[in-house]
């Protein structure tokens, strides 16, 4: 498994590269909450004809360790910036899903010289009572039932009705994969950090082309 070690706290971060060595523009796909590189893999395979694609697990997700640095957007941003240095890529396009979109925005704000474009999918830019209650409920489900129970509790919120009608037969396998690739203690820390840091989020101007995508079923 390809990994790199962060210089600030020695945290091991798992990553994958697809279509590298072609000289095409670089694209980083950033996971949503409790997701891993496995979730982006079908998308990555469709995009390697146009991009050099990077997938990685944020600390506290999948194959990445939790580390000792305080979890939050600033730490996630430093991790991704360090990964870009590790891979020797610049002029990068970022696409983040949900909380991954907030990471993308923070990286673009802190390291504007590295980022060419940003795309945020289903990403909120400020705390709201519904999201705070949702994350709190996920933490309680995780505590009482484990990662698989958390996965099932996320399904009706993460996926819209149209997607569920077409793909319901695959949900059990998707939840099983989530449970196999995440640890309760790291996901718990990840969710707790989302709650603790939500009040500190302030919108910042972006200095690169940006695109925000939301569906009709996206709350």
How do the pLDDT tens digits run along the chain, 219 residues long? 799 999 989 999 999 999 998 889 999 999 998 899 999 999 999 999 999 999 999 999 999 999 999 999 999 999 999 999 999 998 899 999 999 999 999 999 999 999 999 999 998 766 778 888 989 999 999 999 999 999 999 998 888 888 899 999 999 999 999 999 999 999 999 898 887 765 445 556 788 999 999 888 777
Q: How does strand 115-121 pair with strand 92-97?
A: parallel
CB-based contact 9:68 (threshold 8 Å): yes
pLDDT of residue 63: 93
pLDDT of residue 204: 67
Q: How does strand 3-5 pair with strand 12-18?
A: antiparallel
pLDDT of residue 200: 47
Retrieve residue 100's tokens: 């991954």
Calculate the CA dihedral of residues 109, 110, 111, 116 and round it to 10 degrees. -10
Dist CA 152 CA 168 (whole Å): 12
pLDDT of residue 85: 94
Nearest by Cα to 62 from 88, 86, 43, 41: 41
Dist CA 100 CA 114 (whole Å): 17
In the block, residue with structure tokens 């996965």: 151
pLDDT of residue 197: 61
What pairs with residue 59 in β-bridges?
none
pLDDT of residue 198: 55
Supply the pTM of this predicted model.
Answer: 0.91
């Amino acid at each position: 498994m390809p990994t790199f070690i962060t210089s600030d706290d020695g945290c091991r971060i798992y990553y994958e590269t697809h279509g590298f060595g072609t000289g095409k523009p670089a694209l980083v796909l950033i996971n949503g909450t409790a997701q891993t590189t496995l979730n982006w893999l079908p998308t990555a395979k469709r995009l390697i004809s146009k991009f050099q694609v990077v997938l990685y697990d944020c600390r506290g997700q999948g194959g990445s360790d939790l580390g000792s640095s305080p979890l939050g957007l600033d730490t996630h941003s430093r991790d991704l910036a360090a990964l870009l240095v590790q891979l020797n890529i610049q002029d990068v396009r970022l696409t983040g899903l949900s909380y991954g979109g907030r990471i993308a925005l923070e990286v673009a704000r802190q390291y504007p010289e590295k980022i060419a474009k940003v795309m945020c999918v289903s990403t909120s830019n400020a705390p709201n009572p519904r999201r705070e209650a949702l994350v709190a409920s996920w933490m309680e489900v995780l505590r009482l039932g484990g990662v698989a129970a958390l996965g099932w509790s996320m399904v009706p919120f993460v996926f819209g009705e149209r997607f569920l009608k077409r793909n319901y037969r695959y949900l059990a396998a998707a939840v099983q994969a989530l449970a196999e690739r995440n640890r309760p203690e790291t996901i718990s820390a990840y969710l707790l950090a989302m709650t603790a840091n939500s009040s500190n989020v302030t919108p910042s101007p972006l200095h690169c082309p940006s695109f925000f995508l939301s569906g009709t079923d996206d709350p």
